[in-house]
């Protein structure tokens, strides 16, 4: 237990002060992370038209498998940013290079294993899915490329982590924008003739390859090759000890997203996977906006811990969390209201159920991100991922217990309701764990918060109802659906969003540097 809860104020002088840079890094990282999400949203109506509802369900299932297998990588990918940041703080370019080579070796072996398993079991898996016989051969062929795609996805994540840890967020944004542009052009050009499924595989591979090669080129000055090429045994032991706990934590993502798609695919026709994917895609995109602040904050909090110990990390948390919570909760209420209408406005009335999926998930995500966001950065920065592991296991168990009965009672909505409930309950448990570790506590929410958020949510719902009554659909409709959400956020901006986001940079700025 941290025994001097007020001593963190004296540690602020130990923390590097560069508020403007942190603010810009958050924006650039947000651009980098938003590009793939925006690209997928733009292409979804086009892919549904080219592939058909069942074909889009199959393509969505392939992406679910890629996301699942990149999550189940032994925790290596989730641990890289933290360890790259430690090497960067020490200007240890040789250590960063060895970590990069080691991670690529692990990912290559993982890809070979996945390829072998996919080739052996793909026909049996496809035979159990509810789809037209004409689609089974195409699905089997696509699964044969699963291993190479997963390897490239993991390798590109390693290159991204290297750039984030060294503060190269402008380079990361440029590379991600370029890869997304190449992906859009490739999808449109190569799906016009022949088998669109076959064309989508190399285009997806090219997207990952651009990020990998571009990232390595941009990070070259932070690397230095020396023998031995792999990290020393003590370093490997420390990394995999950390990664093992991060893997257990990463299972939360699997059981809170990808597993839902598998359950729906097993119980319902394959087109429902596409409906779920549309709602999940919107909810994930909206959820991701606050998360864009994490890599810069984690890098800086790790540096604060390296220089100021536990007091430095606690000081960072206390300064940020009191503003983070109302900002995320306010944003989440508006985003939930917008998500419930956004999917059907975007894709048409046949995707009404997808809008309900997005709203339920977004409600759970908002509470989860608000309560656990800064705490996740804190426990990772101080080298205590075991706490994150414990609450992640609780999330997984709760989700498993709730999913089957709620799915049988309420179908797809029951599946995502189980996910949302598990996230909220486990977040409360994580708060308790962090309080025991370092005395981390919440400040009370602003007095006018509830009234402000109610007005913002009501304004958003009213505007979305109006947009839904118009003939606007597709990307035009989705853009129009964003206007009521912006108005709702405008209501929050004075008391919630502005007060919540300003300290993210002001905390690290000079005493006279305020946003």
Per-residue pLDDT of the chain (515 residues), as tens digits, is 333 333 333 333 333 444 456 667 777 877 887 888 888 888 888 888 888 888 888 888 888 888 888 877 778 887 888 888 888 888 899 999 999 999 999 999 988 998 898 888 878 777 777 777 777 777 777 788 888 999 999 999 999 999 988 888 889 999 999 999 999 999 988 887 777 877 888 999 999 999 999 999 999 999 999 888 898 888 888 888 888 877 766 666 666 666 787 788 777 777 788 888 888 888 988 888 888 777 777 877 877 787 778 888 888 788 778 778 888 999 999 999 999 898 888 888 888 899 999 999 999 999 999 999 889 888 888 888 788 888 888 888 898 899 888 988 888 899 999 999 999 999 999 999 988 888 787 766 667 788 888 899 999 999 999 998 888 887 788 888 889 998 988 888 765 444 544 444 444 444 333 33
Torsion (CA) 36, 41, 46, 51 in degrees, nearest 10: 80
Answer yes or no: are the C-beta atoms of 231 and 49 closer than 8 Å. no
Burial status of residue 349 (CB atoms within 10 A of its CB: 0-12, 13-18, 19 or more): exposed
Question: d(Cα 292, Cα 250) in Å, to the nearest integer?
Answer: 18
Cα distances (angstroms) measured from residue 87 to each of 192, 234, 247, 302, 401: 47, 15, 21, 11, 41
Answer yes or no: are the C-beta atoms of 118 and 146 closer than 8 Å. yes
- Distance from chain centroid for Cα 53: 26
Choose among 96, 79, 86: nearest CA to 220: 96
- Long-range contacts, 439-442 (Cβ 8 Å, 24+): 439/1, 439/2, 439/5, 439/314, 440/314, 440/317, 440/318, 440/321, 440/375, 440/378, 442/321, 442/322, 442/325
Contacts with 485 (C-beta within 8 Å, 6 or more apart), sequence order:
334, 335, 337, 338, 460, 463, 464
Question: d(Cα 203, Cα 225) in Å, to the nearest integer?
Answer: 32
Question: d(Cα 65, Cα 139) in Å, to the nearest integer?
Answer: 12
Q: Is the pTM of this model over 0.85?
A: no
Question: d(Cα 91, Cα 282) in Å, to the nearest integer?
Answer: 39
Tens of pLDDT, residues 260-289: 877 887 777 777 888 888 888 889 888 888
Structure tokens at 490: 């405008």
Answer yes or no: are the C-beta atoms of 77 and 70 closer than 8 Å. yes
């Amino acid at each position: 237990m941290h025994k001097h809860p007020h001593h963190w104020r004296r540690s602020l002088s130990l923390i590097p002060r560069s508020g403007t840079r942190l603010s810009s890094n958050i924006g650039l990282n947000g651009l980098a992370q938003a590009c793939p999400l925006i690209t997928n949203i733009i292409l979804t109506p086009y892919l549904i038209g080219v592939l058909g509802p069942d074909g889009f369900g199959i393509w969505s299932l392939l992406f679910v498998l890629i996301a699942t297998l990149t999550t189940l990588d032994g925790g290596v990918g989730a641990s890289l940013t933290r360890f790259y940041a430690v090497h960067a703080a020490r200007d240890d370019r040789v250590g960063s290079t060895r970590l990069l080579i080691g991670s690529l070796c692990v990912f290559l072996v993982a890809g070979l294993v996945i390829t072998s398993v996919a080739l052996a079991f793909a026909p049996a898996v496809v035979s159990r899915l509810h789809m037209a016989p004409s689609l089974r051969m195409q699905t089997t062929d696509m699964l044969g490329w699963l291993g190479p795609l997963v390897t490239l996805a993991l390798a590109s994540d390693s290159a991204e982590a290297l750039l984030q840890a060294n503060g190269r967020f402008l380079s990361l944004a440029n590379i991600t924008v370029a890869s997304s542009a190449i992906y859009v052009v490739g999808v449109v050009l190569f799906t016009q003739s022949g088998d669109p499924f076959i064309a989508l595989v190399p285009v997806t591979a090219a997207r990952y390859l651009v990020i990998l090669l571009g990232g390595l080129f941009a990070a070259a000055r932070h690397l230095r090759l020396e023998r031995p090429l792999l990290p020393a045994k003590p370093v490997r032991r420390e990394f995999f000890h950390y990664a093992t706990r991060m893997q257990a934590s990463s299972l939360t993502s699997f059981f809170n997203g990808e597993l839902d798609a598998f359950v729906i695919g097993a119980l319902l026709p394959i087109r429902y996977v596409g409906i779920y994917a549309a709602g999940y895609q919107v909810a994930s995109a909206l959820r991701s906006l606050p998360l864009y602040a994490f890599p810069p904050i984690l890098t800086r909090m790790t540096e604060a811990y390296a220089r100021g110990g536990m007091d430095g990390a606690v000081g960072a948390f206390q300064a940020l969390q009191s503003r983070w919570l109302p900002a995320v909760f306010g944003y989440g209420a508006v985003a939930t209201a917008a998500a419930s209408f956004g999917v059907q406005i975007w894709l048409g009335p046949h995707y009404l159920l997808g809008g309900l999926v997005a709203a339920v998930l977004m409600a759970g995500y908002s509470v989860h991100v608000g309560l656990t966001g800064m705490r996740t950065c804190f426990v990772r920065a101080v080298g205590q991922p075991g706490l994150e592991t414990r609450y992640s296991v609780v999330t997984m168990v709760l989700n498993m217990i709730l999913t089957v009965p709620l799915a049988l009672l309420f179908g797809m909505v029951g599946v995502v309701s189980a996910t949302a409930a598990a996230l909220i309950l486990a977040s409360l448990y994580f708060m308790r764990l962090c309080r025991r570790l370092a005395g981390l506590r919440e400040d009370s929410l602003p007095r006018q918060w509830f009234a402000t958020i109610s007005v913002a949510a009501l304004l958003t719902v009213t505007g979305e109802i109006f947009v839904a009554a118009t003939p606007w659909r597709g990307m035009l409709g989705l853009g129009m659906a964003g206007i009521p959400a912006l108005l709702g956020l405008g209501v929050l901006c004075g008391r919630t969003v502005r007060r919540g986001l300003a300290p993210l940079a002001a905390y690290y700025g000079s005493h006279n540097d305020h946003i």
